[in-house]
Amino acid sequence: MINRCRHTKLYKDKNIVFCKRWKSFLNFKKDMYASYLEHKKNHKKTTLERINNNKNYYPDNCCWATPAEQNGNKSDTLIYKYLGEKKSLKQIARQVGINYITLHARLRRYGYSLDEALKLKNINERRKRPVNKISVDGKIVQTFGSLTEASKNIGVDKTSIWQACQKKGRTSASFYWEYV
């Protein structure tokens, strides 16, 4: 904590300091040791954390956290409201069982809302879903077990069929396509 405040550029730039009382380790221990022991009962690793990142190190703004919890309490952490609670994007990804980078890309690169990004299935799972080949007059011509099967059967790249399934009104090989 003292090192961070004195030697870290980010802390200096934000003018983050520690309370004068904590210049003495014994005072720090008096203020924080009981909560440290309590936290250590349930967590193997623990680290000192500021509850509000914009405020200083002082007893009312400090607690003990796991490294993962502390990592989620940084100024650049993406926070979203999910199921009525504020959570980091990494926490949501872990809870839902989706790769964090995949979820992040859906939100930032592709512009999906959080709900939309969480509803999307993995692209490989989508390719295993059955697809309908539909004529321009709207009649189902044929159903295939997967994009791969359709691609092999009609000789068109499966990405082209996948794109047609994603966007209504888009065709591939002169047909419309939809997931079953």
Q: What is the pLDDT of residues 50-69, one digit of tens each?
A: 888 888 999 999 999 988 77
CATH number belonging to domain 124-179: 1.10.10.10
The Cα-based distances of 55 to 29, 66, 164 in angstroms read 20, 20, 51
**Tokens describing residue 33:** 């040791």
Query: How much is the pLDDT for 125?
Result: 56
Find out whether 19 and 57 touch, Cβ atoms under 8 Å.
yes
Find out whether 173 and 128 touch, Cβ atoms under 8 Å.
no
- Over the stretch 69-102, which tens digit does the pLDDT of each residue have? 787 777 777 888 899 888 888 889 988 888 889 8
Query: How much is the pLDDT for 76?
Result: 73
Q: Confidence band (pLDDT; 50, 70, 90) for 109? A: confident
Question: 122 versus 19: which is more confidently predicted?
Answer: 19
Task: Enter the pTM of the model.
Answer: 0.49
Residue 29 above 90 pLDDT? Answer: yes
Crossing angle of helices 147-154 and 158-166, in 10° steps, is 120
Rounded percentage of the chain residues whose pLDDT exceeds 90:
34
Angle at 148 between CA 156 and CA 100, to 5 degrees: 115
Which stretch of 38-42, 105-109, 172-176 has the lowest confidence by average pLDDT? 105-109
Q: Mean of the pLDDT values across residues 144-172?
A: 85
Residue position matching structure tokens 């949501």: 92
Q: Mean of the pLDDT values across residues 102-115?
A: 84
Amino acid occupying residue 10: L
By CB atoms closer than 10 A (0-12, 13-18, 19+), residue 58 is middle
* Phi then psi dihedrals of residue 57, to 5 deg: -80, 110
By CB atoms closer than 10 A (0-12, 13-18, 19+), residue 83 is exposed
Find out whether 150 and 180 touch, Cβ atoms under 8 Å.
no
**Start and end residues for every CATH 1.10.10.10 domain found in the chain:** 124-179
